[in-house]
Chain A
């Protein structure tokens, strides 16, 4: 017992002697995390205060749960939760299967240069900013010069100012989101497909399986695990709709159907009004629910993959 303790103490000392420079490397990194991540967490106390810039965080009076009560009485906040969930659900419904289908179909392309070209082009939109992508959406939908109104009129319809009409806002968000992320999201499935055992395809071919049969019985079962994980991760992120995307696409006309929680926090906190306490309270609420969702979904992941969580 004492011998063992002594030895482990020795090793700890040895390890410290050997690795102490690593702590020097960690100092600036830890300092950054303390200032820019943990200090703001401390700032969450203003969710329980009536913050005034003149008095500062310390001097502002405590108000208990007042800000949270006001949040739940606010129609705009409740609507922003609804909007967030609806937009996320639409993204999930349409945006989730498409990268899988795309990856499977791309894998069936036998001409390698063409395959490479499609793949490379498909994730290009991931690397442009939402201010550029949003600009393109505006230009394509512009009532005077846009391509899409022109096509609709050519087909016999009457073009409208789509960007300013509530009914079109969510479809525009979903479609532009797919345009921007489909190729990039497909990469992980393509990696999974490429690791499916080639012999399984060979065996299926010998058994007389056609193209569809091979996709159905070999490819898809081979990537089932990664699909499940991605699905769970997406569900865990249901409160996170890209702020940048909403910010560039939303107008006052579409606020009621398009305002997400993040946008509400921005608008209440730093945008049109400066209610720091209310914005902090809603941010805190969102962070907490998000934490529960992510930890919960990671648990599910662990169960499905026999102890292999995301972290």
Chain B
């Protein structure tokens, strides 16, 4: 009896061990498959073209060739594109946050008359929309075509993000406001002096969601921006990838001799690098956001 139990235990731990090993292998595979595309373009951007053509599947570069990066940064569109993206991301995120905090705070006041109607007014837009062309006509009527405002205003408020903030504000006990108002604090004073300092994590999360959205967006510039001096990074990247923009914007023969592939790789690296640099420091806020978002209220 005792022996059989022992044998069972042995078998089980044997199984467990095998499971652990297989599981670890799967996880390492996930890790590698997720990271390899990043590594591949990084290696491609500094390799010689011969190295790539010969091997295709490369794990290491054959030395460090910076020619492709030199060409990327010599292109006049790159600095302006970077500037446009940064301006839109900073300005847009700031405006988005101000509007979202104002809306979310009002909606979080459970005793506000008309709160339900306002919530419905906002949430309905998640379910139904005018769609591409009517929105385009509005933006065009407002005279925003070929203006950086077209990259900010049409998507400035995300109902999802606003509801996320509202959920967080609601989780703060209302007694706090009662107490503050007895101390003579106004409603807005309560928001600015008490609620916002308490909501650091939620504010950080939503700020990041907005910032990533602005940084990555290229759809708006695709339909609203024709002047290439107003293009953001993502659009210039699309141009390079699609047509090898450097074909039409060459300055000299030196540029012509840089192969398209390494140029494209370098271009991808240049546009994704800022996100990769910031990511390790901010990633925990993203996860928090999903957790807060899964709350209902």
Residues on A close to B: CB < 8 A? 12, 15-16, 18-19, 21-23, 25-26, 28-30, 32-33, 35-44, 46, 57, 102, 105-106, 108-110, 114, 117-118, 120-125, 127-136, 138-140, 142, 144-147, 149-151, 153-154, 179, 183-184, 187-188, 191, 208, 210-212, 243-244, 247-248, 262, 265-266, 269-270, 276, 279-280, 283-284, 286-288, 290-291, 294-295, 308, 310-311
A102 x B53 contact (CB < 8 A):
no
Q: B2: CB under 8 A from chain A?
A: no
List 4 extra interface pairs beyond A38-B125, A122-B34, CB under 8 A.
Answer: A118-B30, A128-B216, A191-B290, A270-B133
Task: Select one of A134, A139, A279 contacting B261, CB under 8 A.
Answer: A139
A102 x B283 contact (CB < 8 A):
no
A36 x B138 contact (CB < 8 A):
yes
A140 x B40 contact (CB < 8 A):
yes
A33 x B127 contact (CB < 8 A):
no
CA distance A295 to B124 in the complex (A): 11
30 residue pairs of the A-B complex, CB under 8 angstroms, read A21-B187, A21-B188, A25-B106, A26-B106, A28-B99, A29-B102, A32-B157, A39-B134, A40-B130, A43-B138, A46-B134, A57-B137, A121-B35, A123-B286, A124-B276, A124-B279, A124-B283, A129-B271, A131-B235, A135-B268, A138-B264, A139-B261, A139-B268, A146-B56, A147-B40, A150-B55, A266-B132, A270-B132, A280-B134, A283-B130
A139 x B44 contact (CB < 8 A):
yes
Q: Please give, as numbers and ranges, the residues of chain A lying within 8 Å of B52 by CB-CB distance.
A: 144-145
Task: Select one of A109, A150, A212 contacting B57, CB under 8 A.
Answer: A150
The interface bits of chain B over 122-144 (1 if a CB of A lies within 8 angstroms of the residue's CB, else 0) are 11010111111111111000100
**With A121-B35, A127-B275, A145-B49 as contacts: A33 and B132 at CB distance below 8 Å:** no
Residue in B closest to A126 when the chains form the complex, CB atoms = B286
Residues on B close to A: CB < 8 A? 8, 12, 15-16, 19-20, 23-24, 26-27, 30-31, 33-38, 40-41, 44, 49, 52-53, 55-58, 99, 102-103, 105-106, 109, 111-113, 118, 121-123, 125, 127-138, 142, 153-154, 156-157, 162, 181, 186-188, 212, 215-219, 222-223, 234-235, 237-238, 241, 261, 264-265, 267-268, 271-272, 275-276, 279-280, 283, 286-287, 290-291, 294, 296
Q: Please give, as numbers and ranges, the residues of chain B lying within 8 Å of A151 by CB-CB distance.
A: 56-57
Task: Select one of A41, A144, A179, A212 contacting B130, CB under 8 A.
Answer: A41
Residue in A closest to B282 when the chains form the complex, CB atoms = A127
B132 x A36 contact (CB < 8 A):
no
A6 to chain B, nearest CB (A): 17
Task: Select one of B23, B40, B157 contacting A29, CB under 8 A.
Answer: B157
A15 x B113 contact (CB < 8 A):
yes
